[in-house]
Each structure stands twice: as C-alpha cells, then as structure tokens.
Amino acid sequence: MYNLKPYNRIRQWYYRGSIKSCNYSCSYCPFSKHKKCSVQELQKDQKSLVYFVSALLEKTCIDMQKCAVQIVPYGEALIHKYYWRELAYLSKSIFIEAIGAQTNLSFNIDEMLNVYIDNGGAIEKLRLWCSFHPQMVTTDVFLSQCKKLSEYGIKYCTGAVGEPSNLSHIQYLRVKLPDNIYLFINKFDGLKRNYTLDEIKAFTDIDEYFELELRHHKADVSRCTDSLFIEANGTVKHCNICTSKIAGSDKICTRKECSCYLSYCNQSLPELLFFNPYPSFRIPHYPKAVFFDIDGTIINKDNSQDTVTNETQKWLKRLSRHSKLYFATSLPYNYAIKKAGKAKELFSGGVFAHGGICKIYADIGQCSKVVHEKIFPLGYEHIKLGFLKENASKYGYSVYIYGKDIYKITLLFSIKDNVYIKSVAYKLGLLDNSNFNIIIESGCLQIISAFAGKKEGIVYICDKMGYKADEIAVFGNSVSDIPMLSEYPFSVAVNADETTKQIATYTIN
Ligand code: SF4
C-alpha cells in the first residue's frame, strides 16, 4: 500500500481503482471487452477505494489544504454503490471542496443519489463528467438523465468522442442541452487521419475548447506538481500519462507533450481559466460579469499597434457569450472607447478615468445609450487649476482636464520618471491632500476624487446590476490595479509585475 504523507500542497487528487470493466461496449473503448467484474475483482476494487479514501481523509486533516478529488476509472465505476458511499465520505471533509467522477451516466440516478445522501454526501460538492456514447444510448435517454442531474442541482459536464460519424447525434445533443451545460469533444485517437477543416469547424461549433484537443501542449513538470494521480496498485504520479511512477522522486516525467485533457488541464493553461480552481472536473464556471483594464491587459504593452489584437478580440467575443464585459480603466471615457476599437461592441459599460466616471449601457455595445452613470467630481473648491497650470513649464508637464464637472486631471510629464513625478506631486501639495486620490504611472500623474477608484467603480456597477463579489472576475496588470484585484476572489494578473502577480488569484503571461 502507498503512503500519501510525503506529498504536500496537492490541489487536485485523481484516483483510479483496479476495475477495468464497463457495462457499455463502445467500439472505440478498450474496456468494452471486459464487461463484467467477478465478485473478487469488485471486492478488491472496493478495498482499494476504502484505503484511498481513509488515507486521503487523514492526510487532509493533517495538511488542512483545500483540494478536490476526481475519480477516473478504467471503465464504469458509478454503477457500484460503494463508489457513492466513499464519495459521500470524502464530501464530508471540510478541506475537500469538490468530489466527482467520470461516468457514462448509465446508473440509476435516484437510487445512487439515495446512497450518497444517506451516507451524508454533500450534493453541492458533487461534480460529474458525463460521457455520451451514441452507440450505446439514444440522445433522448442521455438527455433525460442530464435533466435529472439538473433537477437535483448537481454540477456536471457532458462530452463525447469526436468521431465524425457521430457528428449529427452530438450536434443534436448540443442543441437540446441547456446553454449552461458544457459539452466537450475529445479528439478521436482512432481516426487514423487528420480531421478535415469542416470537421474541425463542426466540432468547434459544439465545443469552443476543441482546439485545445488538437494542439500540442509542451509538457512542463513544474506546472503539474500540485496534482497527484493515485492508482489502486500503489502507483503515485502527477497525471494519468506521467512516465515517472513515483511523483516527487528524482525520476521526473519525460513526456514531451501533455497529450490528453487529464494531463494538459494540470498545466494552468490560460484558456482553461474559467475551469478553475479544479479543471479536473472539466466544468467551466463563468462569472456573471468580467471587468478588464485596457492598457497592459487587453492591449499588451509590447503591442506596437496599441490596439486589441484579433486574437484577444476573438477571446473576448467568446467570453461575452457567457459573461457581461465591463472596462475598468484609468483611461478617460472617450480615449478608452477609441482604444478598444471594435472590441467596444462587446462591452456593457465600465469604470473609466480610474473610477472618476462609471457608465452602464442599455445593452451590449450600446455606448450611446447609457442607463446609469456615476461621476465622482474632484470639486472645484479643492482644485487649484490656475496653480497647476502656472507650474506646468517649470516641472515639464501638460495639463489635461476631463469632464464638465472635472472627474479627472492628468499631468502628462515629459520626463517619464516616476520618482521625479512623485517629487513634483509633493512640491505641488498633492500628496498630502485628502481630497484627492493620486496615481502615478507611465509618465502621468492622475488626480481623481478621494472617493473614486476602479474598485469603487466596480462596487457601483455591481450594486446597480445586482452582481455579488463572488460572481465577477477582474483583470488587471499593474500596481494601480491592486485595490480591485485584492478585493475580489476571482482576480487575474495579466503580464503583470511581481507585486501585482502576488495579489491576484490567477496569473496569465
Ligand atoms: S504528461 Fe503529466 S506528468 Fe508529464 S508534464 Fe504533462 S501533466 Fe505533468
């Protein structure tokens, strides 16, 4: 038997029992040849599972590390009640946030959920990866099983092997499934030829992530060390295809590519951001609203065009099918809209001028129809405009004023040195003025109201639109984004400096 104690900071646990059998007999699957397990085989499998569960429960109590467990059987496991009992025991741990299994969804849902619930299983932690096999089950029968899972409030994904001859069945399934249920397509390894362009398009129309199945994912062992794959025979490795049998030993995985979902999902791919924190379940979770900084975030600093690239535009477009998009930028409104280019049509409003002004449009892309607007004016009584202008040539800056009520003043310096700019701000008496919020970045000194900020603007929009803090995501890249990044649990640092990266929940480079 194996010992889990040496393995620390594991976020995702995978488990594979000893059974290699399935109640289905799909032509593309090796386990279809072994249809029924003997009583002894089942007893052995159960004993191994009980050992794994007790070892893991003990381990999590010691480590107190939040984690998830995904069962990835060879064949079908959820037709056996003991899997449901053990999943229930795992779900009772306060450290295990989610538990799940891959299944063909052929089990009796009512009966098995009774076993799960009777043993104290938490429905909200259950995740099912449900594979559709058109040779074995009609689309309507599979759909009725899915409907039942939805009625129980269970989180699940569906999926199928991308066999071109099954395309019409899978397309029908996609049409009939609720929009919020993800249907993945696995590359069909037995195809023995490349997919045609039409087939790629058809499968991508069903699964927007299908391209990941066709891509070569360079193996990087440093990115999968927080996943462990345990097999009933005592093998402990980082993923199902890892070539090293003992994770953490000197022998590390020598694979060149992480060639299947269970391996590449451990590689923290930016494309799988919305599958976090546990991509092993393959269930995306999209925020209701996503807030994006512009400069350095949706427009890369190194992009000489200074516009949103076609690739980013496509990504934003896909995301806009699931989530409302808002800007959260220090750029004044008109500059932001101009700079966003065509991407502006995907947004529903935003926080502009570092929170000096916030707008919510009537609908996506309708920037001319603003239904809610909030301005945080600087207040004429506090701004010494004449004084700022008088000192412009002495300190080498130009003054830009935004809004009738003045919600932002920018001093654009000819010397792009933040230390120098800070010294000027001090001399002008701006730093110790409690009426202002001063931001120094990229050769600019920005003055906004002390009550304004990206974070404050996001709070305003969330309040108006009814979004809770855990229903939104925020993307930023610089120190000035830290207040908003640290406020929300789903925060993403894009090509960011080290300080900003440390604050955000996720990073993209
Ligand atoms: S194949 Fe598996 S173990 Fe090897 S690098 Fe990829 S995820 Fe890690």
Please give the distance, rounded to the nearest whole angstrom, from the Cα atom of residue 508 to the centre of ligand 1.
Answer: 20
**Pair of tokens at residue 329:** 């930028």
pLDDT cut 70: percent of the chain above it: 97
User: Of the residues 14, 217, 231, 239, which should be mutated to test ligand 1's pocket, given the most ligand atoms within 8 Å of the CB?
Assistant: 239
| Residue 255 Cβ contacting ligand 1 at under 6 Å | yes
pLDDT at res. 34: 67
State residue 480 phi and psi, 5-degree precision. Answer: -70, -15
State the Cα–Cα distance between residues 466 and 476, nearest whole angstrom.
22
CATH tag, 12-281: 3.20.20
State the average pLDDT over residues 442-463. 95
Residues 112-133 have pLDDT tens digits of: 999 999 999 999 999 999 999 9
Q: In what order do the strands lie in the sheet with 357-361?
A: 370-375, 357-361, 347-352, 324-328, 289-292, 472-476, 491-494, 506-508
Would the pLDDT of 36 be above 80?
Answer: no
pLDDT at res. 405: 87
C-alpha distances out from residue 134 to 25, 35, 203, 505, Å: 11, 18, 15, 39
> How much is the CA Rg of the chain, to the nearest whole Å?
27
CA angle 42, 46, 48 (to 5 degrees): 120
Confidence band for 379, pLDDT divided at 50, 70 and 90: confident
3-state helix vs strand vs coil in the chain, percent to 5: 40, 20, 40
Would the pLDDT of 24 be above 90?
Answer: no
Of 8-17, 308-317, 376-385, 402-411, the poorest mean pLDDT is in 376-385
pLDDT at res. 285: 97
Residues 225-277 have pLDDT tens digits of: 999 999 999 999 999 999 887 755 667 889 999 999 999 999 999 999 999 99
**Looking at the DSSP assignment, which residues form a beta bridge with residue 440?**
445
Instruction: Report the candidate in 399, 401, 408 with the shortest Cα–Cα distance to residue 376.
Output: 408
Atom of ligand 1 nearest to the CA of 220: 5
Residues 318-327 have pLDDT tens digits of: 999 999 999 9
Residues 304-351 have pLDDT tens digits of: 678 999 999 999 999 999 999 999 999 999 999 999 999 999 999 999
| Residue 57 Cβ contacting ligand 1 at under 6 Å | no
State the Cα–Cα distance between residues 350 and 328, nearest whole angstrom.
6
Please give the distance, rounded to the nearest whole angstrom, from the Cα atom of residue 245 to the centre of ligand 1.
Answer: 12
Instruction: Report the candidate in 164, 29, 16, 197 with the shortest Cα–Cα distance to residue 101.
Output: 16
Residue extents of the structural domains in the chain: 12-281, 289-376+452-508, 385-449
Confidence band for 482, pLDDT divided at 50, 70 and 90: very high
State the average pLDDT over residues 422-440. 91
| Residue 232 Cβ contacting ligand 1 at under 6 Å | no
Residues 357-370 have pLDDT tens digits of: 999 999 999 988 99
| Residue 263 Cβ contacting ligand 1 at under 6 Å | yes
State residue 117 phi and psi, 5-degree precision. Answer: -70, -40
CB atoms within 10 A of CB 461: 24
CA angle 262, 267, 272 (to 5 degrees): 80
pLDDT at res. 316: 96
User: Of the residues 252, 253, 254, 272, which should be mutated to test ligand 1's pocket, given the most ligand atoms within 8 Å of the CB?
Assistant: 253
Confidence band for 205, pLDDT divided at 50, 70 and 90: very high
State residue 452 phi and psi, 5-degree precision. Answer: -95, 160
Does the pTM exceed 0.85? yes
CB atoms within 10 A of CB 39: 7
pLDDT at res. 247: 58
State the Cα–Cα distance between residues 239 and 229, nearest whole angstrom.
5
State the average pLDDT over residues 15-21. 93
| Residue 96 Cβ contacting ligand 1 at under 6 Å | no
| Residue 125 Cβ contacting ligand 1 at under 6 Å | no
Instruction: Report the candidate in 91, 88, 81 with the shortest Cα–Cα distance to residue 111.
Output: 81
State the Cα–Cα distance between residues 419 and 236, nearest whole angstrom.
52
| Residue 102 Cβ contacting ligand 1 at under 6 Å | no
Q: In what order do the strands lie in the sheet with 436-441?
A: 397-402, 408-413, 444-449, 436-441
Contact 117, 123 (CB under 8 A): yes
**Looking at the DSSP assignment, which residues form a beta bridge with residue 350?**
327, 359
State the Cα–Cα distance between residues 448 and 176, nearest whole angstrom.
50
Confidence band for 494, pLDDT divided at 50, 70 and 90: very high
CA angle 14, 509, 271 (to 5 degrees): 50
Q: Where are the beta strands (DSSP E) in 255-406?
A: 289-292, 324-328, 347-352, 357-361, 370-375, 397-402
State the Cα–Cα distance between residues 270 and 509, nearest whole angstrom.
8
Confidence band for 411, pLDDT divided at 50, 70 and 90: very high
State the average pLDDT over residues 431-436. 88
Instruction: Report the candidate in 314, 357, 313 with the shortest Cα–Cα distance to residue 335.
Output: 357
Would the pLDDT of 35 be above 80?
Answer: no
Contact 85, 118 (CB under 8 A): no
More confident residue, 480 or 150: 150
pLDDT at res. 250: 61
| Residue 252 Cβ contacting ligand 1 at under 6 Å | no
Q: Where are the beta strands (DSSP E) in 85-140?
A: 96-103, 126-131
The mean pLDDT of the chain is 93
Would the pLDDT of 83 be above 70?
Answer: yes
| Residue 236 Cβ contacting ligand 1 at under 6 Å | no
Please give the distance, rounded to the nearest whole angstrom, from the Cα atom of residue 225 to the centre of ligand 1.
Answer: 9
User: Which stretch of DSSP H or E encloses residue 319?
Assistant: helix 310-320
Would the pLDDT of 33 be above 70?
Answer: no
Please give the distance, rounded to the nearest whole angstrom, from the Cα atom of residue 466 to the centre of ligand 1.
Answer: 41
Please give the distance, rounded to the nearest whole angstrom, from the Cα atom of residue 214 to the centre of ligand 1.
Answer: 17
- Which residue, by CA, sits nearest to atom 3 of ligand 1? 242
Alpha helix segments (H runs only) across 436-497 = 454-465, 482-487
State the average pLDDT over residues 183-199. 95
Of 302-306, 349-353, 462-466, the poorest mean pLDDT is in 302-306
Instruction: Report the candidate in 473, 332, 402 with the shortest Cα–Cα distance to residue 340.
Output: 332
pLDDT at res. 381: 74
Would the pLDDT of 301 be above 70?
Answer: yes
User: Of the residues 11, 255, 257, 265, which should be mutated to test ligand 1's pocket, given the most ligand atoms within 8 Å of the CB?
Assistant: 255
State the Cα–Cα distance between residues 290 and 448, nearest whole angstrom.
23
Residues 131-162 have pLDDT tens digits of: 999 999 999 999 999 999 999 999 999 999 99
Which one is the CATH code of 289-376+452-508: 2.60.120.260, 3.90.320.10, 3.40.50.1220, 3.40.50.1000?
3.40.50.1000
